[in-house]
Amino acid sequence: MSSNHLKGPILSLPAGATHINLSGNKFSGSSSFICSAFAEYLTYLDVSNNLLSGMLPDCWIKFEELVVLNLESNGLSGKIPPSMGSLGSIVTLRLSNNNFFGELPILSNCTRLRILDLQDNALSGKIPEWIGESLPLFLEIYPSVSTISQLCLKKGVAITYEFDFNLYGEIHYVDSACLTWKGSKYEYKNTLGLVKSLDLSDNKLDGIVPEEIMSLVGLIALNLSKNNFSGTIPPKIGHLKSLDFLDLSRNRFYGEIPSSLSLINRLSVMDLSNNNFSGKIPTGTQIQSFNASVYAGNPELCGLPLPKKCLGEEPTQGPATIDIPEDEIITLGFYISLALGFIAGFWGVCGSLVLSQSWRHAYFNFLANIKDRIYVIATINFAKLKQRFNN
């Protein structure tokens, strides 16, 4: 019954139903009708994109077979009920675009969970320890998108569920999600299984970043921006070798930037701006290749590519220049030697001819003989050529 113009409150759910889709309508009022469901049969419940309001009921412990729960884009508020942690069969849980606040309940018992969408709420507090402990085993979490590498290997690049619809065969449900990637939003559906992202941006999360997150070596994108995180960046961040996108901006991180960050050679987008980082930016081709705006808003940070120099650091010099000295041959001594050589050579020959008559006669006789010999040779060769052409 999805995508119609149905309105008013939902009083109860149909008895014995396994697959209920009421999304894309104008249903309003409380969500207490959920507890009236015959939970032992229900595997799929989608009431997203409606006008539901108020707090969620805390009766999820009886939904043992629920695989997909989609409550996104309503006006639901309050804390997420603790009993959601007992959804042992849940694979997709979507609570985005509501008004939930407070901390996340413990979901470590949801061992089949693959997609958890919490974006556009007002969640606060610390990142729960169970995320860091359980993520490597079964989840990659996001308010935007998530998946698991093992699922990609088994199901291909799309995440598809099959529901037995009694006498009517099976229902195939292909999951999709929106991910903010490098400033733009994209919908992932047929390629959702390839996305590996942890996005907790734009919430009110605080405290330190659990070091266990740094063991998610398959992460391609990590976005913790626009929160109240504090502390230092764990040194093990260098273990995230596949990371292409890193955004830690607009938090309260402090201390030095770990040198291990320069080991991530796939990093193409990074933003560490508007924190309290201090000290020298680590040296490395990858780190220094980013624009200075990546590090802006950290007054105690210094070193390239920032214009601020670190204490005791030599001023930045431009490209090395080699002073080419003047040609050492062209010196005053050269000109003096040239003059003396000319005088000696000129007067050594001409002076001897002027002073000695016999040398003068011998010299001119030599030149005359040379001239006569050249003339005779030229005349004979010319005569031979003329005779050859006449014949």
Q: What is the pLDDT of residues 345-387, one digit of tens each?
A: 666 666 666 666 676 677 777 777 787 788 878 888 877 777 7
Q: What share of the chain is helix, strand, coil (3-state, %, to 5)?
A: 30, 25, 45
Out of 29-38, 57-66, 135-144, 274-283, which region has the weakest mean confidence (pLDDT)?
135-144
State the pLDDT at residue 137. 34
pLDDT in the model for residue 129: 63
Task: Using the 3D structure, point to which of 313, 345, 365 is the last residue of a domain.
Answer: 313
225 and 126 in a common domain:
no
How far, in Å, CA of 134 to CA of 147, rounded?
14
Asked if residue 139 and residue 42 are part of one domain, the reply reads yes
Mean pLDDT of 16-39: 85
Q: Check whether residue 158 and residue 59 sit in a common domain.
A: yes
pLDDT band at 141 (very low <50, low <70, confident <90, very high): very low
Looking at the fold, whether 170 and 208 belong to one and the same domain comes out as no
pTM: 0.53
For residue 318, being part of any structural domain is answered with: no
> Over 80: is that where the pLDDT of 225 sits?
yes
Are 126 and 102 a contacting pair, CB within 8 Å? no
Mean pLDDT across 43-65: 90
Distances 117 to 100, 185, 278 between C-alpha atoms, Å: 12, 15, 34
Say yes or no to pLDDT of 184 above 80. Answer: no
111 and 136 in contact (C-beta within 8 Å)?
A: no
Residues 153 and 9 reside in one and the same domain? yes
Domain co-membership, 9 together with 150: yes
- On whether residue 107 sits in a domain, the answer given is yes
Contact 176, 188 (CB under 8 A): yes
Instruction: Please indicate, yes or no, whether residues 52 and 152 belong to a single structural domain of this protein.
Output: yes
The mean per-residue pLDDT over the stretch 235-263 comes to 88
| Residue 265 within any structural domain of the chain | yes
Q: So what's the pLDDT on residue 148?
A: 28
* pLDDT at position 28: 93
Asked if the structure places residue 337 within a domain, the reply is no
When pLDDT is averaged across residues 16-22 and rounded to a whole number, the result is 85
Whether 230 is in a domain gets the answer yes
Task: Tell the residue number behind the tokens 């070193």, with chain if given.
Answer: 303
Looking at the structure, do residues 107 and 225 belong to the same domain, yes or no? no
| Residue 166 and residue 204 in one domain | no
Q: What is the mean pLDDT of residues 53-67?
A: 89
pLDDT, residue 389, reads 73
Q: Does residue 274 fall inside a structural domain?
A: yes
Shared domain for 280 and 153, answered yes or no, is no
Checking if the pLDDT of 280 tops 80, the result is: yes
The mean of the pLDDT values for the chain is 75
Give phi and psi for 161, each to the nearest 5.
Answer: -115, 145
Token pair in block for residue 8: 């008013």
- Residue 341 within any structural domain of the chain: no
What domain range includes position 248? Answer: 200-313
Closest CA relative to residue 282, chosen from 301, 254, 269, 307: 301
Q: What is the mean pLDDT of residues 285-314?
A: 82
- Residue 332 above 80 pLDDT? no
The rounded distance, in Å, linking the Cα atoms of 329 and 318 is: 31
CB 70 within 8 Å of CB 94: yes
Q: What is the pLDDT of residue 115?
A: 77
Say whether both 139 and 210 belong to one domain.
no
Q: Is the same domain home to 93 and 136? A: yes
Residue 330's pLDDT band, with cuts at 50, 70 and 90, is: low
Query: Does residue 178 sit in helix, strand or coil?
Result: strand
Phi, psi dihedrals of residue 335, rounded to the nearest 5°: -65, -40
**How many domains does the chain contain in total?**
2
User: Rounded to an integer, what distance in angstroms lies between the CA atom of residue 212 and that of residue 127?
Assistant: 11
Beta-strand relationship, 115-117 and 92-94: parallel
Tens-digit pLDDT profile for residues 75-120: 999 999 999 888 888 888 888 889 998 888 888 788 787 777 887 7
CATH number at residue 296: 3.80.10.10
Domain assignment present for residue 389? The answer is no
